Amino acid sequence: MTESPASASPDQLLLRAQVRSLLERKLDALPASFRCVFVLRAVEELSVEETARSLGIAEATVRSRHFRARSLLRESLAQEIDLAERDLYEFGGVHCDRIVAAVLARLEATGTAPADR
């Protein structure tokens, strides 16, 4: 269940705003033909028929452009996540060492620790 904006914490509101900003940037980066179809279908919630009529294109074109727009957005967002994931513990140091030590201790406690460290 999603929290209403009124009950969200400042951190949650900030996160929501950052995600919205990221989505807007990724949507803006789509080719115009895909972006138009995506906005009409996903944001404005027009039907395939309404979108086709509005843009003067075939319904099959609407379907393929919407599918392609979603794929491009998914790929672009996945790349952002990969970059963020790679940088997650980039700072290294004591915090990272503590996490590694805790994981190794847990593995040793369960008898699944690597033999060679």
* CA–CA dist 117, 97 (Å, integer): 14
User: Could you read off the pLDDT of 53-108 as tens digits, one per residue?
Assistant: 999 999 999 999 999 999 999 999 999 888 877 776 665 666 677 888 888 888 88
Domain boundaries of the chain, sorted by first residue = 5-88
Do the Cβ atoms of 52 and 62 come closer than 8 Å?
yes
Which CATH number, 1.10.10.10, 1.10.3720.10, 3.60.20.10, 3.50.30.30, labels domain 5-88? 1.10.10.10
**Tens digits of per-residue pLDDT, 20-36?**
999 999 999 999 999 99
Q: Is the pTM of this model over 0.75?
A: no
> 73, 42 in Cβ contact below 8 A?
no
Predicted confidence (pLDDT) at residue 4 exceeds the cutoff of 70: no
